[in-house]
A and B are shown apart, each in its own frame.
Chain A
Amino acid sequence: QSALTQPASVSGSPGQSITISCTGTRSDVGNYNLVSWYQQNPGKAPKLMIYEVTERPSGVSDRFSGSKSGYTASLTISGLQAEDEADYYCCSYAGNSIGIFGGGTRLTVL
């Protein structure tokens, strides 16, 4: 099974909003509302930012939001801050207790 498709990089200026897409198929993103998003800083373990497409764990800023349409899930970060600069990964349930990650997106805050 191929990785979910994410843009390799996105960038934005402080205060702006950016959106990272995550495109799958009818076997994963399109069939389940079990998409999560992770932020990873260099040398650190990933951190859960969004689960079940739109839900935010306790402690995650409300500047982070998630959505889904068809086979594509999206992570939006509003009011971009320098501390948001990191790699972001989506993950989807793909049925039969199998998971699949996206290839990752590097966010640069200009």
Chain B
Amino acid sequence: QVQLVQSGAEVKKPGASVMVSCKASGYTFTNYYIHWVRQAPGQGLEWVGVINPKDATTRYARRLQGRVTMTRDTSTSTVYMEVTSLTSEDSALYYCAKGDATWSFDFWGQGTLVTASS
């Protein structure tokens, strides 16, 4: 069965960087996109970006452009998302989600809570 398992919660100081991982299993890793979506406490969903595991091409939301980087390791079927120069506005639950050409997200990870606080 399809599973996306994310790394654990992180607490970082403002200005620091954080890296979150998402390990996929149960399907052919290189055949589907991995999207990242975040949700600040009590707020709605925000699309962060997408990586194509086949060729590592990426696309990021304009709001985070320059501060977010997504990479993948095909040997372990794992995608990584790094966010730099954290501020309190980056504090959120970050989800990875499997996507395809329909631009819909059919399986989601359990979420990783990132807190930027001094």
Residues of A near any B CB (own CB < 8 A): 1, 3, 32, 34, 36, 38, 40, 45-48, 51-52, 55, 57, 89, 91-93, 96-104
Range class of the B interface residue count: 20 to 34
- The residues of A that contact B46 with a CB separation of less than 8 Å are 3, 101
How far is it, in angstroms, between the C-alpha of A92 and the C-alpha of B105 when the chains are bound? Answer: 11
The reply to whether the CB of B26 lies closer than 8 angstroms to some CB of chain A is no
How far is it, in angstroms, between the C-alpha of A102 and the C-alpha of B44 when the chains are bound? Answer: 8
Sample 8 A-B pairs with CB under 8 A, ordered by A number.
Answer: A34-B102, A46-B97, A48-B105, A48-B106, A91-B104, A98-B47, A99-B35, A104-B45
The reply to whether the CB of B80 lies closer than 8 angstroms to some CB of chain A is no
How far is it, in angstroms, between the C-alpha of A82 and the C-alpha of B87 when the chains are bound? Answer: 39
Q: Are B104 and A45 in contact (CB under 8 A)?
A: no
Q: Are A3 and B44 in contact (CB under 8 A)?
A: yes
| CB contact list, B79-100 vs A, under 8 A | 95, 97
Q: Are B59 and A98 in contact (CB under 8 A)?
A: yes
Q: Which of B59, B62, B102, B108 is packed against the most chain A CB atoms within 10 Å?
A: B102
- The residues of A that contact B102 with a CB separation of less than 8 Å are 34, 36, 51-52, 55
